Chain A
């Protein structure tokens, strides 16, 4: 029998939703000589009661989380080191009796995950900035927002379609309404639809999700009403193609090649279909404006489209196009958050260079 573990401690697993106890131990003195292959954990609800096996850990482990506890019930734990020759065989009861006991301990759910306090502080700082600048904007303070070429070109793109007497296509990505990029995409759709209604240019919105269909249709209808052209709105302008990624790409490619729209907008979340769509649009000579928050698809849009809204610019588009003070204020707050992150990066860089590591640890996030 290998010598028992030097010490064993138990505690309610912190920052969890309950139902778990963390067991820690110092390895057996026989581990260094290779006399221990596994540690088997036993649990009982009384110190002298029958201990049942609840799990095991490899020889070099010193922690085990027992995720099968009932909240509020007191438990006792024992750890039995096993040599290789005993693997697969029942542990002799005398070995279990001889093992050290730890406890009592009971699990409980916590009301706050302290590992995420840094995220909370970060989000609160950002929210304070955003709300502060929204209030500033509401009070009438003029806020400077840098020019975004892709959004400046929206008027030109719609105007071009009008001059050519051709359609405008608006593709709101391939994801559903639970994706914030899709929400950003359909938000911009409202502004584009309003312009299209004013210019009396046909706007076609093929979508790949049923919920996006309902939302986009409502937005376009509202935009036409706002532009004073409710009669010009046709339900078929916004239509469903398919949920399938490549089926959707094939459907749009076919329509683009046949109908040759003058302008195509790609605004939302895209995956591998991004380049298939954008290159087809490019091949027919359409003016293309894309915007996405998918970093892996941005190079494709940059290569194939005339203008690309890179990441945050997609989320800024609604505020930028509407010029509504409250929305512009939130943009300014976002920029202040960016400035703060930039300062943190520079400070972290300097501290890390001089061997001070604690600052960067403040930014580690538990998923």
Chain B
């Protein structure tokens, strides 16, 4: 029964979700919202599982002096600091001027932005590797990228200003983005959509059981 009950629940919920898309009548028109609410409630309760797991692993690391245990100290200190301040501030913890908001605005946001900003450098290094003209496909990629990039900056237009409208770098970049790029992307998206339908059907029918912890 340990495997059968989750399978039955999964199958029933899956079928209900498919059916509710086609039936606008109550209660089907409310089911999407109900299931979303239930999922949010389960998710909110489950956050403690994650938080406790993080604390347990970090405490064990410190207790056993495992390698890099210093980072675990930072994790626990940060975790306790933000949690305690959040509880102390009470219901108004997100109001402007609270200590919680200060930590959010001046510690969390800059750290998050820093991580996001690193992306720019990673794009540069990944592009350098991807655009090396090693073979025919890579050369094609390099040329497409070159024209799209040049077509997206003012200098591209300035260089081809003498050409008739419709033949400038901006137009070439727009053509590449609108036709070959969109066609490729749509092909991938059709494949993904079919993959999702197929996977969903396997799960609903109980053929795919690996996500329940085994075949």
Contacts and interface: CB of A to CB of B under 8 A. Distances in A.
Contact of B115 (A16, A113, A249, A316): A249
Nearest to B189: A295
A295 B214 CA distance: 29
Interface stretch (A33-41, A162-170, A233-241, A353-361): A233-241
Contacts of B203: 183
Nearest to B113: A246
B22 A116 contact: yes
B89 interface: no
Interface stretch (B52-60, B91-99, B154-162, B171-179): B52-60
A322 B202 CA distance: 14
Contact of A303 (B130, B189, B215): B130
Contacts of B51: 210, 240
A187 interface: yes
A67 to B, nearest CB: 13
A207 B57 CA distance: 13
Q: Which of B22, B71, B203 has the largest count of A CB atoms less than 10 A from its CB?
A: B22
A24 B68 CA distance: 71
A134 to B, nearest CB: 7
Give 10 nearest A-B pairs by CB, closest first.
Answer: A315-B195, A312-B191, A210-B50, A246-B115, A240-B50, A312-B195, A210-B46, A218-B213, A17-B29, A303-B130
27 contacts: A15-B24, A17-B29, A110-B24, A110-B25, A123-B18, A176-B43, A180-B200, A183-B203, A186-B211, A190-B210, A211-B42, A240-B54, A244-B112, A246-B116, A247-B111, A249-B115, A250-B111, A275-B126, A276-B122, A278-B126, A293-B195, A295-B192, A303-B126, A315-B199, A322-B210, A330-B202, A337-B194
A142 interface: no
Contacts of B191: 310-312, 338
Contact of B188 (A111, A120, A236, A295): A295
Contact of B210 (A219, A279, A282): A219
A183 B199 CA distance: 9
A234 B199 CA distance: 30
A96 interface: no
Contacts of A243: 47, 50
Interface string B186-214: 00111110111111111100011011111
Contacts of B119: 272, 275-276
Interface of A: 15-18, 109-113, 116, 119-120, 123, 126-127, 130, 134, 176, 178, 180, 183-184, 186-187, 190-191, 207, 209-211, 213-215, 218-219, 221-223, 226, 236, 239-247, 249-250, 254, 258, 272-273, 275-276, 278-279, 282, 293, 295, 298-300, 302-304, 310-312, 314-316, 318-319, 322, 324, 326-327, 330-331, 333-334, 337-338, 341
A184 to B, nearest CB: 6
Given A123-B18, A187-B211, A315-B192, 19 more contacts: A112-B22, A119-B22, A127-B197, A183-B211, A210-B43, A221-B213, A223-B214, A236-B57, A244-B112, A245-B112, A250-B115, A275-B122, A278-B126, A295-B188, A295-B189, A300-B126, A311-B192, A322-B210, A326-B207
Contacts of B111: 246-247, 250
A276 B23 contact: no
Nearest to A223: B214
A334 B23 contact: no
Interface of B: 18, 21-26, 29, 39, 42-43, 46-51, 53-54, 57, 60, 67-68, 71, 111-112, 115-116, 118-119, 122-123, 125-127, 129-130, 185, 188-192, 194-203, 207-208, 210-215
A123 B53 contact: no
A350 B77 CA distance: 66
Contacts of B129: 303-304
Q: Which of A113, A210, A330 has the largest count of B CB atoms less than 10 A from its CB?
A: A210
A213 B50 contact: yes
A240 B190 contact: no
A236 B196 CA distance: 31
B199 A17 contact: no
Contacts of B23: 111-113
Contacts of B42: 211
A58 B188 CA distance: 42
A294 to B, nearest CB: 9
A119 B201 CA distance: 15
Contacts of A333: 198
Contact of A178 (B39, B123, B212): B39
Nearest to A333: B198
